[in-house]
Structure 1
Amino acid sequence: MNDRRPIELEAGWRSMQDGINKLKRLLEGEPEEQFDAEKYMHLYTTIYNMCTQKPPHDYSEQLYSRYRDAFSAYIQEKVLPALRETRGELLLRALVHRWENHKVMVRWLSRFFNYLDRYYISRHSLNTLKDVGLIRFKEEVYKELCGRARDAILELIRQERDGEQIDRTLLKNVLAIFIEVGMGTMEAYEKDFEEALLESTASYYKRKAAAWIQEDSCPDYMLKAEDCLKQEEERVVNYLHVDSKAKLLNKAEEELLANNETELLEKEHSGCSVLLRDDKKQDLARMYRLFQRIPKGLEPVADMFKKHVESEGMRLVKEVTEAANAKKDKDSGKPTKDSGSSHEQQYVREVIELHDKYLQYVNDCFANSSLFHKALKEAFESFCNKTVANSSSAELMANFCDNLLKKGGAEKLSDEEIEETLDKVVKLLAYISDKDLFSEFYRKKLSRRLLWERSASDDHERSILARLKQQCGAQFTSKMEGMVTDLQLAREKQQTFEDWKKGQAKQLDIDLSVTVLTTGFWPTYKSVDLALPKEMAEGVEQFKAFYEATTKHRKLTWIYPLGSVTMKAVFNAKPIELVISTFQAAMLMLFNEEEKLSWTEIKERLNMPEEDVTRMLHSLACAKYKLLLKEPAGKTIAKTDSFKANWNFTDRMRRIKIPTPPIDDKKKVVEDVEKDRRIAIDAAIVRTMKSRKVLPHQQLTIEVVNQLQRMFQPDFRLIKKRIEDLIQREYLARDEENPNIFKYLA
C-alpha cells in the first residue's frame, strides 16, 4: 500500500525554481557548480511525481504553463535588457550568444519536464517542450530585434561588397536564428531578411552599374560584373541559405546586365562590334558567359555577331568585284582562263578562311551555341548568294574546286591540305541556295578534267563526290559518279578495241583512242557532222565496225569538239610535234593539199559551224603560235580573209600545245539549270497534288518550295507559271467555285 503524501504545487515548484535559478546563473556565467546526477534526478522525479498524483493533485497543466513562464521571466529579466543596449555587429554577437544560451536552457528544462512531453502533451496535442521554448524566444526576443539585426547584417554585407573584411561565421550564425525560428519553414528567413536583402542588392548594383557604365569600357565593366556575380555566389556558400542563390543572382544580373545590355553592347569604342573587329576572344567569351545568364540575353549578341560576319563577307564581295572589274578593263579583249580569275579564286579562299575564323569563334567564345551557329549560317547565306564579279558563288566554288583538282591548277598543297580544303568548300555549299547551279558547273568542269586527262588525282575526285553525296544526297552526285565509272569502262572498251584491231587485215595509219560515254551522265555536247580528213575517217569507220560487232542496241554519236590530236608537222626549219584539237587538226591537214584557202572554202570543206571556223582560225593564225598566215594581216578573223600554211614556222620547243579559245558556256549552264528547274517544279507540283488531290494555291506553293529548297530556292512566279502550264496540259484543274483551289486530274 502506497502511503506517499502528495506534493503540493507551490512546494514542488519552489524546488523546481531552485534548479531553474541555478541554470540561469550558469547561463549568465556566474559562479555556480554544474548539475550533478543527483540534482538532475531530484528535479526530474519532482516533476514526475507532480504529474502522476491522483486528481486533484495532478499538476500537469499548471507545470506546462509555468515551464513556459520560466522562459519569459528569464527573457524579460536578463536577455532583453542586455540586447537592447547593443547596436550593429555587437548586437549580432550578443544575439548569437543569447540564442545559444536559450537553446541550452531549452535542452535542460525539457529534460527536467520530460514526463510532460511523454504523456500530457501528446494526449492533449500541445506544442512540445522544445517548441514552447523556441516560440518564447521568437515571440519575445526575435520579433523585437529581428529588424535591427537584419539592418546590421545588410550593413556588413554592404561593407563586404565594398571590399572590407567581415566576420562571415558571425553572419552564418545570426542567419541560422532566422531559419530556426521558422520551425521547419523558411517563412521567417524569407520575410524578415531575404526580401530586404534582395531589395538592398538591387539598389546596390543599380548604383554601381550606373557609375561603371559611364566610367568603364565594355570589357572592364564585364570584368567587374563577373567578379560581383562570383562574389554573390561565394556569399551564398559562406553564410546565406542556398535557397537565396537563384533570387540573389537574379537581382544582381538584372541590375548589372539586363538593364544595361543595350548600352553596354553598343559602347562606342569598346562594344560588341569593336570586340569582334579586334578579335578580343577572351572578352567575347566573357560576354557570352554573362549574357547567357539573363533571359534572351544572348539574342542581341548573336545579332551583332551575325551583322559583323555579314559585313566582313560583303566587304570581300565588294573587293573582289572591284578588282575583277579593274582587271576586265585592263585586259579588255584578251582571252581569259576557264577556271576564274585569281581574284575570284582568292575570294573563295578568303570565304573559307572567314568561315574557319568565325566557326572557331562559335566554338571557343560562344560555347558551340546553336543560336550562334544559326547566326553564322544566316550571315553566310546572306553574302554567299550575292553575285560576285558577275558570277554566282555556285560558279566560283565550282571553278575553285576545278583549280584544286586539275593538274597544275592548285598551289603547292599536300594531299592532306587539298582534302581539308575540299571538305571546307563542301561545308560552304550548305549556305548556297542554288546548289543545282553548282552541280551543273561542277559537272562541266569534271567532264573536262576526266576527258582531257587533267585530273590530278582519282582519289581526290572520289573523295569530294563522297562528301557532296553526304551533304546533298545521292541524287546530287549520281550523274557525276556515273561519269567517273564511265571513264573506267571506256578505258576497258579501248583495250578491247586494241585487241580487236590486231585481228584485222587492214591496219590504220594513225593511233586511235575512243572514249565511249553514256549520254545520260554527261553534260550535253553539240554533235557536228565534221568532214574528217581521210586518215581520221578510216579510224572512225573501223571503230564503228568494232562497236557494232561487240555491242547490241546502242547508237554512237561522235562528239568531235571534245577530241584531241597529237600530230607531227614537218616545217622548213625542223619537225615539231603539235598537241591540238580535232577541229584544229582537220583544218591544218587541208593545207597538205592546198597552198591557199579562203574562210568560206575552209568552212565548206570541213562542214564546220561558222563560229567554230572563226575560233579555230584565230587560234592558228592570230594567237601565240602562227601556224597559218592570214591575208590581210591582223588580229581578228573576217569571212573575207584567206589563209596559207606558215612553213617557215619554228619554235625552240620540239612539242607545243596550241590551246583553243575557250567557249563561255556559262549561259548554256544557266539555261540547262533553268530547264531542269522547270521539270523539277512540275514533278513537285504533280507529286504533291497526286497525294493531296485538292489544295489551295498558297498551300501548294509552300509544299513545292519545301520539297525543292534543298537544291534551289524556287521562284514563286515560276511556280505559278508551271501550275498554269500543268492546267493547260490537263494535269490540274481549277475549282469551279474558287479559282484559287486546284484539283488533281488522275
Structure 2
Amino acid sequence: MARDSGYGIFVTTKTELEVIEWDQGWDYMQKGFTKLKRILEGLSESQFTSEENMMLYTTIYNMCTQKPPYDYSWQLYDKYREVLDEYITSAVLPSLRNKHDEFLLLEFVKRWETHKVMVRWLSFFFNYLDRFFVCRRSLPRLREVGLTRFRDLIYRVVKASVRVAVIAIINKEREGEQIDLALLKNVINIFVEMGMGQMDAYEEDFEAHMLEDAAEYYSRKASSWILEDSSPDYIFKAEECLRRERDRVSQYLHSSSEQKLMEKVQFELLVVYSAPLLEKDLSGCRALLRDDQVEDLSRMYRLYNKIPRGLEPIARLFREHVIAEGITLVQQTENSANDQSSNGSGMREQVLVKEIAELHDKYMAYVSDCFMNHSLLRRASKEAFEVICNKTVAGSSFAELLVALCDNILKTGGHEKSSDEAIEETLEKVVKLLPYISDKNLFAEFYRKKLARRLLFNQSANEDLEKSTLAKLKQQCGGQFTSKMEGMVTDLTLARENRTGFEEYLHSNPIENPGMDLTVTVLTTGFWPSYKSFDLNLPAELVKCVEVFKGFYETKTKNRKLTWIFSLGTCNIVGKFEPKVIELVVSTYQAALLLLFNTADRWSYSEIFTQLNLNHDDLVRVLHSLSCAKYKILVKEPNTNTVLPNDTFEFNSKFTHRMRRIKIPLPPVDETKEVIEDVDKDKRYAIDAAVVRIMKSRKVLRHHELVVECVKQLENMFKPDIRAIKKRIEDLITRDYLERDKENLNMIRYLA
C-alpha cells in the first residue's frame, strides 16, 4: 500500500484491492473541491501538484469501477452538478447581486471565465465518469452540464441587467465617448455561448433588444437632422452612422447582426424620411442634379442602392429632372422660332439638337459615374430622352431636326468648320439620340433624301465622313436600317466608273460626240428615294445628249431600262446679255425653258406649258426662279411676284451681275408631307409582312397575341399604332391571307 502524504487516503493497486466507501471517497474529493474554490476566488492557496491531480482523478476512477453496490457513478454524476450549484450560490451570485453598469459587466465576464476554468478542472477530475458512464447512458456531458448550470443559475438571473448595461455603453460610444471594446466583446460572446451551439440566446436575449434600441436612437437623430440639415449633410451623416455601425459589428457584435442592424439604421435614417430628404427644395435630388453635385449624388446612390426599391424615387426624380431640362431647351427653341428677329431659319433648331446631345452625354455620365450604370437609372434616362426626342419643335419632328443637323455638318461649306475629329465627335453624339426616336423609319427616309442630294450634287465635305456616319447608324439600328443608304454610296462609285467608260466611248467614237460636256449618273432604283419622272420635251441640244448616252449604255447592258430623272439634273449654259456674257448654273428644267428663248424673245405661260410638257406646279417654280426671284433673267408681265397662267415672259437682255458665273436656285420644296406619306406606306407594308411572317410560323394565334407579337417585331424601327395593326389584320383577312376561326372569332388562322 501507498500513503499520500497530503490526504491520508489509500490507493488500491491492481494486485491488492480495497473497497472505497462513499463517505470516505467523497470526503477526500470535497477537500480537493474546497482547494479549487479557494484558488478560483483568489484566496491564499497553493496550486495543485501533479500528484494531487492524479490522486483526485484516481479516486473518481476507483469509485466508478468498483463492483456493485460500491459503484458510485450515479452519485458522482449528481454530485458534480451539486458542486457547481453550491459554488454558484455561495460565491458567484452574491458577487453579482449589487453591481451595476460597467462594474456588473466586468464581474459577469470574470465569473464566466472562472466558471469555465472550474468546469475544465472538474472535467479532468471526473474524466473517467464522462468518458464511460455518461457515454454508455447517453447522459449530457459534464461540460454541457457545467454550462447549463451557469446559464440556469446566473445568466437567466442577470441577463436583463447585463443587456441594459451593454446597450447603454453602445449608446455612449455612438455619442463619441471612449469605451472598453474588449469588455463589450467578451460580454456579447457570453450571450452567444449561452446558446450552446445555437444563436437563439444571443438573438432573443440581446440582439432583438439591441436592434430595437438602435432603431429608437436613430429615429430620434433623424427627426432632428431632417429639420436642421441640408440633404447632402444629412446623407453624409447617415453614411457615417452606417459605417460606424458596421465597425461595431466587426469590433464586438456577432457578425450575424450586421445585415439586421444595417437594415434597421437604413430604415430609420433613409426610408422613413426618403420623400422629404430627396425632394428638399434647395438641396434635394433635383438641386444636386441641377448644381452638378457629383460626389453627393454618388453618396446618395450608394446608400439607397442597398435598400430594397430604394432607388425608385431617385430614378423618378432623375427622370423628371432630365425631362424638365430637355423641355426647357425645346421651349426656348419654340420661342426663338416664333420670334421674327430669330437669326437663320432652322439654325436654332439645329443648335437644339446639339444641346440635347450634350445633355444626353452629361446625364449618361451621371448614370455611369454616379449611379454605377444601374439598370433602373439607365431606364429612367432612356424614358426621359424618349419623351424629349419625340417632341415636335417649331412644326418639325425631332427626326427631321436630327437629319438637318447631320446634313449641315456633312455638307461642303456647311457651318461646321472644325477638324474631322471634332465633326466625328459631334456626329457620334447626335447619332446616339437616334435610338430614342419612336419612328426611326421617318429618320431613315429624311436622311436618305438628304444623303441623295449630297451625293448627287457633290455636296459632301468628306466621303469618309459619310461612310463613318453610316457605320454609326448601322451600329445603333442594324444593317437593315442602312442597307439602302450604303447602296447609294456604292452606286456613286459605280457611277464614276460609268463616266470614265462614257468618256472613253466618246473618245473612240468622235462622231457620237454631242458637242457639249455631258455627265450622267446611273442609279439603282431600289436604293434611292422615289423621284417623279416626267416626259419633259427636251430642247434639240439636250435630246442629242440623251441619245448618245443611250447608245453607250446599250453597249454595256441590254437588260436594263434607263429612266431619266430630269428634275435632278443641272446645266451650265451661257447667257449673252448686252452688258456682258454670264455663265448660268441652272437645273435641267430651267435650262430647257431658257433655251426656248433662242427661238423667240417672248413666250406666254400657256405656250411654255405646251412646249415643255411640265406640270403646273413645277413650271410655276421654274418661272418664278427666273423672273421673280433674285436673278431676273426673264421679265414678266404683269410685274408681280406671283406666276399666273395669263402671264407673259420676255428675255431680259439688260440683265447683268458683278459675277461672271451665277447659280440660279429653284424655290425650295417642302418634302415633309411627301416623306411622311411614303413612310406611312412603308409602315403598312412592314406591318403586313410582320403579320404574315408571324402567322406563317405559328399557323393559329389569338388576335391579341398576334398584335403583341407584331408590336415586338416592329418596335426597333417604329412604334406601331395598335389600331393600324388591327386594320392591317382585317385587310389581310379580306385578301385571304388569314381567316377567323368559325368557332372562336378571336382565333386567327393562316391560309397557306
| Alignment partner, residue 327 of structure 2 | 314
| Alignment partner, residue 301 of structure 1 | 314
Q: Of 425, 430, 437, which aligns to 1:425?
A: 430
Distance change (3 Å), C-alpha of 1:64 and 1:480: same
> In 2, are the aligned partners of 1:447 and 1:483 still within 8 Å (CA)?
yes
* 1:331-342 matches, cutoff 5 A: 341-342=346-347
Residue identity matched to 1:52: T
> In 1, are the aligned partners of 2:354 and 2:430 still within 8 Å (CA)?
no
Q: Of 220, 243, 264, which aligns to 1:251?
A: 264
- Take 2:497 and 2:463, find their aligned partners in 1: how far apart are those partners? 17
| Alignment partner, residue 591 of structure 1 | 597
Q: Of 539, 545, 564, which aligns to 1:539?
A: 545
Distance change (3 Å), C-alpha of 1:189 and 1:623: same
| Alignment partner, residue 203 of structure 2 | 190
* 1:163-562 matches, cutoff 5 A: 163-327=176-340, 341-506=346-511, 507-562=513-568
> In 1, are the aligned partners of 2:533 and 2:565 still within 8 Å (CA)?
yes
Secondary structure in 2 matching 1:500 = helix
1:708 aligns with 2:721: no
- Take 1:74 and 1:45, find their aligned partners in 2: how far apart are those partners? 23
- Take 1:93 and 1:226, find their aligned partners in 2: how far apart are those partners? 33
Bigger Cα displacement from structure 2, 69-78 vs 528-537: 528-537
Distance change (3 Å), C-alpha of 1:434 and 1:62: same
Q: Deviations over 1:400-429 (max 9, x none)?
A: 211121112242232223223323333211
Deviation, 1:513, is 0.4
Secondary structure in 1 matching 2:496 = helix
- Take 2:696 and 2:193, find their aligned partners in 1: how far apart are those partners? 73
> In 2, are the aligned partners of 1:497 and 1:543 still within 8 Å (CA)?
yes
Residue identity matched to 1:70: V
- Take 1:398 and 1:325, find their aligned partners in 2: how far apart are those partners? 22
Residue identity matched to 2:285: C
- Take 1:721 and 1:175, find their aligned partners in 2: how far apart are those partners? 73
> In 2, are the aligned partners of 1:345 and 1:396 still within 8 Å (CA)?
yes
- Take 2:569 and 2:635, find their aligned partners in 1: how far apart are those partners? 25
Aligned length: 738
- Take 2:64 and 2:510, find their aligned partners in 1: how far apart are those partners? 138
- Take 1:720 and 1:60, find their aligned partners in 2: how far apart are those partners? 92
- Take 1:716 and 1:174, find their aligned partners in 2: how far apart are those partners? 68
Residue identity matched to 1:162: E
Residue identity matched to 2:405: F
Q: What TM-score do you get using the length of structure 2 for normalisation?
A: 0.94
Residue identity matched to 1:637: V
Residue identity matched to 2:20: I
Residue identity matched to 1:460: L
> In 2, are the aligned partners of 1:51 and 1:58 still within 8 Å (CA)?
yes
Which structure 1 segments of 5+ residues have no match? none
Secondary structure in 1 matching 2:255 = coil
- Take 1:148 and 1:243, find their aligned partners in 2: how far apart are those partners? 23
- Take 1:32 and 1:698, find their aligned partners in 2: how far apart are those partners? 93
Deviation, 1:498, is 0.8
Q: Of 69, 77, 98, which aligns to 1:85?
A: 98
Identity between Structure 1 and Structure 2 (%): 58
Secondary structure in 2 matching 1:433 = coil
Q: Deviations over 1:17-66 (max 9, x none)?
A: 22222222222222222222222222222222222233322222222222
> In 1, are the aligned partners of 2:53 and 2:125 still within 8 Å (CA)?
yes
Q: Deviations over 1:664-708 (max 9, x none)?
A: 111111111111112222222333333344444333322322222
- Take 1:182 and 1:702, find their aligned partners in 2: how far apart are those partners? 58
Deviation, 1:233, is 0.7
Q: Of 599, 603, 620, which aligns to 2:609?
A: 603
Residue identity matched to 2:228: E
> In 1, are the aligned partners of 2:336 and 2:342 still within 8 Å (CA)?
no
Residue identity matched to 1:486: D
1:668 aligns with 2:674: yes
> In 1, are the aligned partners of 2:416 and 2:423 still within 8 Å (CA)?
no
Q: Deviations over 1:242-262 (max 9, x none)?
A: 111111111111222222212
- Take 1:39 and 1:700, find their aligned partners in 2: how far apart are those partners? 93
| Alignment partner, residue 4 of structure 2 | none
> In 1, are the aligned partners of 2:484 and 2:527 still within 8 Å (CA)?
yes
- Take 1:176 and 1:550, find their aligned partners in 2: how far apart are those partners? 96
The two structures, once aligned, show a CA RMSD in angstroms of 2.1
Distance change (3 Å), C-alpha of 1:89 and 1:714: same
Distance change (3 Å), C-alpha of 1:190 and 1:534: same
Secondary structure in 2 matching 1:430 = helix
Secondary structure in 2 matching 1:706 = helix
Secondary structure in 2 matching 1:184 = coil
Distance change (3 Å), C-alpha of 1:643 and 1:183: same
Q: Of 703, 711, 716, which aligns to 1:697?
A: 703
- Take 1:105 and 1:587, find their aligned partners in 2: how far apart are those partners? 122
Deviation, 1:739, is 4.8
Secondary structure in 2 matching 1:155 = helix
1:137 aligns with 2:129: no
- Take 1:125 and 1:383, find their aligned partners in 2: how far apart are those partners? 77
- Take 1:121 and 1:723, find their aligned partners in 2: how far apart are those partners? 85
> In 1, are the aligned partners of 2:358 and 2:429 still within 8 Å (CA)?
no
Q: What TM-score do you get using the length of structure 1 for normalisation?
A: 0.94
Bigger Cα displacement from structure 2, 405-414 vs 437-446: 405-414
Deviation, 1:738, is 5.2
Q: Deviations over 1:450-502 (max 9, x none)?
A: 10011112222222222322332322222111111111111111111111111
Secondary structure in 2 matching 1:257 = helix
| Alignment partner, residue 172 of structure 2 | 159
- Take 2:125 and 2:699, find their aligned partners in 1: how far apart are those partners? 90
Deviation, 1:265, is 2.0
> In 2, are the aligned partners of 1:510 and 1:536 still within 8 Å (CA)?
no
